[in-house]
């Protein structure tokens, strides 16, 4: 039997390319359909040769073993008419073959999926996400991600490298014509909190970079990209565990000004959703958590299990 790609299949293939690699649970959440329906269709797409399905490696949570889904070259070719930017692109820039840290990528994908859930719960909001790993997002002249940021030493003109957020996104309230800007850092506890040499992946150095970036107003380049005005931004840290959250919250408190830095954990995200009052502002754990939305829009929006 010949399996044809329908419109929903093509959207799914594009979503897999955008996220680079997804677990079957993540595909189910994106499709908003039952697990059985999604798994059956994934098997059919694998038989057609447009996706690759492989067992998930070490480091995943306990429970039923999950599979990971990525695009094949045939899958890329099937959607290249709609997405010509993919034509001729090396397959490792579209699937998960050369992702440096798979578990970090999957946690970032979960954040994006929960973020998209907000739009289903609050339809008047529009969310636009820029990923450093997206094959659809144009890279700069040095083949660096569009959201790569050049940093500099405080008080000096000498360039000292740069940093790449795990994501940049905006949340727009269409009726009020108000847009907020966010930067995302996903933390799995594998990076040093602080080192004497201030390594680029040092959390303390990351915060210093964002503080300088905030003061310099260089974030305003996104005004031209999204055609809106920003009066600042919020830096969001998503931590893998609650204990790591406490460690980073203490660091943030010790590095003012840091009210623009908000933190939460994986457990809080899955339990209540990203729009809920789960965020610790400025690392102040003794204060009531807040929502990244305005107080009257704050609501719980978890992704419910799909049977």
pLDDT in tens, 141-157: 788 999 999 876 544 44
Co-location of 110 and 256 in the same domain: yes
- When pLDDT is averaged across residues 29-44 and rounded to a whole number, the result is 94
- pLDDT > 90 in the chain, percent: 80
Given a cut of 60, is residue 83 above it in pLDDT?
yes
pTM of full prediction above 0.85: yes
Given a cut of 80, is residue 307 above it in pLDDT?
no
Alpha-carbon gap, residue 3 to 47, rounded angstroms: 9
Co-location of 180 and 253 in the same domain: yes
What are the pLDDT digits (tens) for 257-289? 999 999 999 999 999 999 999 999 999 999 999
Residue 183 falls within a domain, yes or no? yes
pLDDT for position 6: 92
Residue 299 falls within a domain, yes or no? no
Look at the chain and report how many structural domains it folds into.
2
- When pLDDT is averaged across residues 69-73 and rounded to a whole number, the result is 97
Co-location of 126 and 68 in the same domain: no
pLDDT for position 121: 95
Co-location of 114 and 15 in the same domain: no
Given a cut of 60, is residue 211 above it in pLDDT?
yes
Domain boundary among 67, 93, 119: 93
pLDDT for position 198: 67
Domain boundary among 44, 64, 93: 93
Q: What is the CATH number of the domain that holds 123?
A: 3.40.1350
Identify the helix (H) or strand (E) that includes residue 243: helix 242-253
User: Which position has the higher pLDDT, 138 or 306?
Assistant: 138
Given a cut of 80, is residue 13 above it in pLDDT?
yes
- When pLDDT is averaged across residues 180-206 and rounded to a whole number, the result is 89
Co-location of 85 and 169 in the same domain: no
Q: What is the CATH number of the domain that holds 31?
A: 1.10.10.10
Co-location of 252 and 120 in the same domain: yes
Residue 303 falls within a domain, yes or no? no
Co-location of 153 and 213 in the same domain: yes
Domain boundary among 61, 93, 125: 93
**Highest-pLDDT range among 58-67, 189-198, 233-242:** 233-242
pLDDT for position 153: 54
Given a cut of 50, is residue 62 above it in pLDDT?
no
137 to each of 18, 101, 222, 304, how far by Cα in Å?
9, 20, 14, 30
Residue 184 falls within a domain, yes or no? yes
Residue 295 falls within a domain, yes or no? no
Other C-beta atoms lying within 10 Å of the C-beta of residue 227:
8
Residue 151 falls within a domain, yes or no? yes
Co-location of 85 and 221 in the same domain: no
Residue whose tokens read 């000498």? 158
Alpha-carbon gap, residue 6 to 92, rounded angstroms: 25
pLDDT for position 156: 47
Alpha-carbon gap, residue 245 to 200, rounded angstroms: 20
pLDDT bin (cut points 50, 70, 90) of residue 25 is very high
Given a cut of 70, is residue 87 above it in pLDDT?
yes
CA end-to-end span of the chain: 28
Residue 291 falls within a domain, yes or no? no
pLDDT for position 2: 55
| Tokens of residue 14, six digits | 């594009």
Strands 167-173 and 261-265: unpaired
What are the pLDDT digits (tens) for 89-124? 999 999 988 898 999 999 999 999 999 999 999 999
Co-location of 143 and 233 in the same domain: yes
Co-location of 75 and 132 in the same domain: no
- Asked whether 298 and 274 are in contact (CB, 8 A), the reply is no
Co-location of 162 and 65 in the same domain: no
Name the residue range of residue 192's domain: 102-281
Co-location of 260 and 157 in the same domain: yes
């Amino acid at each position: 039997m010949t399996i044809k790609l329908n419109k929903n299949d093509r959207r799914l293939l594009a979503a897999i390319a955008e996220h680079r690699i997804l677990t079957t649970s993540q595909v189910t959440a994106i499709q908003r359909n039952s697990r059985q329906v999604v798994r059956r269709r994934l098997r059919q797409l694998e038989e057609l040769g447009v996706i690759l399905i492989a067992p998930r490696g070490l480091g995943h949570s306990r429970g039923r073993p999950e599979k990971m889904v990525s695009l094949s070259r045939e899958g890329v070719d099937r959607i290249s008419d709609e997405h010509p930017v993919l034509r001729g692109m090396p397959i490792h820039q579209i699937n998960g073959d050369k992702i440096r840290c798979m578990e970090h990528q999957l946690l970032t994908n979960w954040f994006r999926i929960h973020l998209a859930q907000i739009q289903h719960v609050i339809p008047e909001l529009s969310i636009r996400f820029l990923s450093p790993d997206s094959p659809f997002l144009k890279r700069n002249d040095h083949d660096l991600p569009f959201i790569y940021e050049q940093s500099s030493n405080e008080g000096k003109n000498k360039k000292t490298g740069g940093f790449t957020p795990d994501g940049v996104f905006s949340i727009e309230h269409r009726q009020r014509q108000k847009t907020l800007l966010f930067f995302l850092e996903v933390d799995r506890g594998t990076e040093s909190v602080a080192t004497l040499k201030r390594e680029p992946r040092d959390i303390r150095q990351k915060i210093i970079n964002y503080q300088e970036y905030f003061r310099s107003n260089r974030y305003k380049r996104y005004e031209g990209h999204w055609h809106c005005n920003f009066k600042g931004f919020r830096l969001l840290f998503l931590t893998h565990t609650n204990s790591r959250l406490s460690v980073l919250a203490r660091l943030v408190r010790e590095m003012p000004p840091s009210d623009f830095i908000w933190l939460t954990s994986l457990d809080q995200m899955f339990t209540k959703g990203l729009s809920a009052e789960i965020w610790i502002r400025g690392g102040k754990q003794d204060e009531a958590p807040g929502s990244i939305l305005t107080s009257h829009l704050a609501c719980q929006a978890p992704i419910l299990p799909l049977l």
